[in-house]
A = this chain, B = another copy of it.
Amino acid sequence: MAPKTVQTAPEIAAGDPKHAARATRSAGRQMRSRLLDGASRLFKERGLVGTSISDIAAAADAFPSQITYYFRTKEALFVEAACREMLYLARATEQAALRAHTPREYTHALAETVTATDSVAFFAEALTLTRRRQDLAPLVERTIERLHSEGARAYASQVERHGWRSLRAPEESSRRFWAVAIGVMIEGHAMGRSAEDLCCEMLRVLGDQATTPPSVDSTRLRVVDDSDKPDRETSS
Which A residues have a C-beta under 8 Å from some C-beta of B?
A: 47, 49-50, 102-104, 121, 124-128, 130-132, 134, 137, 140-141, 144, 167-168, 172, 175-176, 178-184, 186-187, 189-192, 201, 204-208, 210-212, 214, 228, 230-232, 234-236
Contacts and interface: CB of A to CB of B under 8 A. Distances in A.
A106 B204 CA distance: 22
Q: Which of A47, A104, A178, A182 has the most chain B CB within a 10 Å cutoff?
A: A182
A234 B205 contact: no
A49 B133 CA distance: 13
A189 B127 contact: yes
Contacts of A182: 182-183, 186-187
A32 to B, nearest CB: 23
Contacts of A230: 211, 228
A88 to B, nearest CB: 18
Contacts of A175: 201, 204-205
Contacts of A184: 179, 183
Contact of A179 (B131, B140, B180, B234): B180
A127 B179 contact: no
A231 B104 CA distance: 9
Given A172-B207, A187-B144, A236-B102, A125 B127 contact: no
A231 B210 CA distance: 7
Contacts of A201: 175
A214 to B, nearest CB: 7
Contacts of A178: 183, 187
6 contacts: A134-B192, A144-B187, A168-B207, A172-B207, A180-B180, A211-B230
A126 B181 CA distance: 17
A124 B212 contact: no
B190 A205 contact: no
Contacts of A102: 235-236
Contacts of A168: 207
Contact of A232 (B121, B208, B235): B208
